[in-house]
Structure 1
Amino acid sequence: MLTFRKALIIAAVLITLILFLRSSHSSPSALASSPDAVAYDISQITEEQRPSQDIDSPQQPLKQPPPPPFAPLRERLRYHFAYDLESKFPAYIWQTWKYTPTSLWFGQDLREPEASWTELNPTFVHQVIPDDTLHHLIKYLYGSIPEVFEAFDSLPLPVLKADFFRYLILLARGGIYSDIDTTALKPVVDWLPDGLDLSTVGFVIGIEADPDRPDWQDWYSRRIQFCQWTIQSKPGHPILIDIVSYITEEALRMKKAGILKKGKMDKTIVEFTGPAAWTDAVFRYFNDPEYFNIEPDSTRNITYEDFTNQVEYQKVGDVVVLPITSFSPGVQQMGAQDIDDPMAFVKHDFDGRLCRAVGTHG
């Protein structure tokens, strides 16, 4: 007699067999699909829009064995996100907001700025990552380095996560990050001069502030402050390794002390994830003998004096520093020219209503 217990066992066996047969006959295209599609929707991207890859490039040497789990954080980040200076800048544009542009809740005042990036850069993959996807994307990208994801997931304020996200996505994938309240004024390919060998450039930043007034400390955190609302990078750049390590270590330190909470932290947002922390990381790189030929016992450091009153491009090692006009045109101070200037590339709206998501601090 077929009892209920026997029927249940038979049903379970049949379901298991069906699932096994389905997985065994998965199509080759499904098995070979890009892992990038796991975390965010790129189903609408055409092949010509994807970042180019050299089909005929020589076979890459095998990776070195991975560092042990207890190796220093920076060492593990370098391994998982190797930096190749001679590679191309990935054709990605990353932004983040509460909703995607396909949502009815995406603000009308943001549609024109957001669309400007796609219109001027039609061959780029342009992704606006919504809030409800950030958690899963960072977990996917940094699953092999769990403390990074733990630090991100533990941050108590959306502005902290928005700040941290820009560094994390550029470290892992490279390309352009720009705040949702920015408008592209020129195509990305026109940001750097034609004669510049891009195989010697791995990072592009702009000057945010160059205050020469005596009370500058009342208005800005650093004498020269670098933009973090628009950044271009190749994956794995040492500046990104540094800032990701710094934020991770500080977040976990405060978490352990029980102060990684709103109103309890012993660092301000600006010094923790914002422009002060970012500017410090850039200057640490410029003065790191591991990357620059700094003479022993030399007292010469790269400081704000090397960038104040800058009006043209300046290359420091593999970093191109753009003048204040490039990412801050039309602010009518500190020497910034208007949006029609040849060096004006990105306009930032400084919309205070967007501080929650985009990490602006002023």
Structure 2
Amino acid sequence: MITFRKSLIAAVFFITVFLLLRSTHSSSSPSTTPEFKYAPEKDTYSNAEVAEEHSSEQEDAVQQQQPLKPSPSAPLRDRLRYHFPYDLDNKFPAYIWQTWKYTPDSLWFGEQLRSAEATWTELHPGFVHQVVPDDTQRYLIKYLYSAIPDVFEAYNSLPLPVLKADFFRYLILLARGGIYSDIDTSALQPASDWLPSEYDLSTVGFVVGIEADPDRPDWHDWYSRRIQFCQWTIQSKPGHPILRDIVAYITEETLRMKKTGILKVGKMDKTIVEYTGPAAWTDAIFRYFNNPDYFNIEPGSTHNVTYEDFTNQKEWKKVGDVVVLPITSFSPGVMQMGAEDVDHPMAFVKHDFEGTWKTDPSL
């Protein structure tokens, strides 16, 4: 006769055997490669490709490490890194940021801009689409960068609206991520179609297009850089090192000129293009591509990522966590430098080149 005690012992025996068999089966199954965890201070890319293998011990150490809050006197880049950390694994935030003097619900919002602005909402129904008016930008930056007052001081000290417009796009993407696009652009395809389906989005943190590829001897008479990256449309995850670098650069240059008394129209020692515009932007991207903190660059190596890596580009090119789009993607229809028309499959955003800042009476 089976007693209660014998039944209990038998049950414990069978449960123990089951757990042992399950444990043995699990340990003998092939292990999977852990997902890449981006850690700016630790990890680098190899040969401009995202690293694919990290030991679980290293990953756990990165996840458990809590950075100490830097002091107010710490280097600006350290404070930006702390307050706006970069996590490559996160999704691209569903934000679309634009700026203009007025919001679309204002009677003063130009009719010529309404159809272009509407394309962003129509093609991105799940996104938060925000047109930030001029009189709100200052308060938003003050709020977002309250812990880093020198950044707000720099923004507030800029003497021209165009400088603030340039700076704002970098600041909002660093803090919140998403898509920034000028008010005179039209979305031709949704952002979900900007990258090929085979790309793992957990390895992409930044999307930028080529603005100019002037393959001619006198290119410097027309453009500031041989390859120039587009700044009127940018997509990024928050905290990206490129944005951190350009924000730090503009902040430091602004406060330097302010201290020396030359932060005034006609007295600044930098042009708009070299200060906040496409030249400064292009330089920041190339600094990132050639930074040994993020890429495995052999000591003493003479190889750099240069314009030659992007000239005559026709499709996507992935460099680490950055995807560079060809000139057609954000400049279709310009009919030069190899750009195709707006009906091309690689045409994603149309820029009307209104140059609205040039007609601003405050300039």
Q: Tell me, in whole angstroms, the C-alpha distance in 2 between the residues paired with 1:311 and 1:270.
A: 26
Q: 2:175 matched to 1:172?
A: yes
Residue by residue, what CA displacement relative to the aligned partner does 1:290-345 show, whole Å, maximum 9, x if unpaired? 00011110000000000000000000000000000000000000000000000000
Secondary structure of residue in 2 paired with 1:231: strand
Secondary structure of residue in 2 paired with 1:129: strand
Q: Could you tell me whether the CA contact under 8 Å between 2:95 and 2:178 is conserved in 1? A: yes
Q: Tell me, in whole angstroms, the C-alpha distance in 2 between the residues paired with 1:131 and 1:68.
A: 32
Residue by residue, what CA displacement relative to the aligned partner does 1:209-264 show, whole Å, maximum 9, x if unpaired? 00011111110000000000000000000000100000000000000010101111
Secondary structure of residue in 2 paired with 1:128: strand
Residue by residue, what CA displacement relative to the aligned partner does 1:52-102 show, whole Å, maximum 9, x if unpaired? xxxxxxxx8684331111100000000000000010000000000000000
Secondary structure of residue in 1 paired with 2:215: coil
Secondary structure of residue in 2 paired with 1:193: coil
Q: Tell me, in whole angstroms, the C-alpha distance in 1 between the residues paired with 2:64 and 2:185.
A: 40
Q: Tell me, in whole angstroms, the C-alpha distance in 2 between the residues paired with 1:252 and 1:356.
A: 27
**What do you get for the CA RMSD once the two structures are aligned?**
1.3
Number of the residue aligned with 2:325: 322
Q: Tell me, in whole angstroms, the C-alpha distance in 1 between the residues paired with 2:263 and 2:116.
A: 34
Q: Tell me, in whole angstroms, the C-alpha distance in 2 between the residues paired with 1:156 and 1:242.
A: 22
Select 1:128's aligned residue among 125, 131, 135. 131
Q: Could you tell me whether the CA contact under 8 Å between 2:161 and 2:357 is conserved in 1? A: no
Give the percent of matched residue pairs that are identical in Structure 1 and Structure 2.
Answer: 79
Secondary structure of residue in 2 paired with 1:99: coil
Deviation at 1:354, TM superposition (A): 4.0
Secondary structure of residue in 2 paired with 1:94: strand
Deviation at 1:355, TM superposition (A): 4.0
Moved more, 86-95 or 62-71: 62-71
Structure 1 spans left out of the alignment, 5+ residues: 1-59, 358-362
Q: Could you tell me whether the CA contact under 8 Å between 1:158 and 1:356 is conserved in 2? A: no
Number of the residue aligned with 2:246: 243
Matches within 5 A, 1:275-354: 275-354=278-357
Q: Tell me, in whole angstroms, the C-alpha distance in 2 between the residues paired with 1:264 and 1:188.
A: 41
Number of the residue aligned with 2:26: none
Number of the residue aligned with 2:235: 232
Q: Tell me, in whole angstroms, the C-alpha distance in 2 between the residues paired with 1:294 and 1:356.
A: 45
Q: Tell me, in whole angstroms, the C-alpha distance in 1 between the residues paired with 2:197 and 2:142.
A: 38
Q: Could you tell me whether the CA contact under 8 Å between 1:164 and 1:244 is conserved in 2? A: yes
Select 1:111's aligned residue among 96, 104, 114. 114
Number of the residue aligned with 1:140: 143
Q: 2:248 matched to 1:268?
A: no
Q: Could you tell me which amino acid in structure 2 is paired with residue 340 of structure 1? A: D
Q: Could you tell me which amino acid in structure 2 is paired with residue 98 of structure 1? A: K
Select 2:102's aligned residue among 99, 103, 117. 99
Q: 2:208 matched to 1:205?
A: yes
Residue by residue, what CA displacement relative to the aligned partner does 1:262-292 show, whole Å, maximum 9, x if unpaired? 1110000000000000000000000000000
Q: Tell me, in whole angstroms, the C-alpha distance in 1 between the residues paired with 2:276 and 2:357.
A: 17
Q: Could you tell me whether the CA contact under 8 Å between 2:97 and 2:179 is conserved in 1? A: yes
Structure 2 spans left out of the alignment, 5+ residues: 1-62
Q: Tell me, in whole angstroms, the C-alpha distance in 1 between the residues paired with 2:137 and 2:266.
A: 24
Number of the residue aligned with 1:5: none
Moved more, 213-222 or 348-357: 348-357
Secondary structure of residue in 2 paired with 1:126: strand
Secondary structure of residue in 1 paired with 2:122: helix
Number of the residue aligned with 1:31: none
Q: 2:170 matched to 1:155?
A: no
TM-score using structure 1 length: 0.81
Select 1:194's aligned residue among 183, 194, 197. 197
Max radius of gyration: which structure? 2
Q: 2:258 matched to 1:255?
A: yes
Distance 1:275 1:199, change over 3 A: same
TM-score using structure 2 length: 0.81
Q: Tell me, in whole angstroms, the C-alpha distance in 2 between the residues paired with 1:260 and 1:306.
A: 36
Number of the residue aligned with 1:53: none
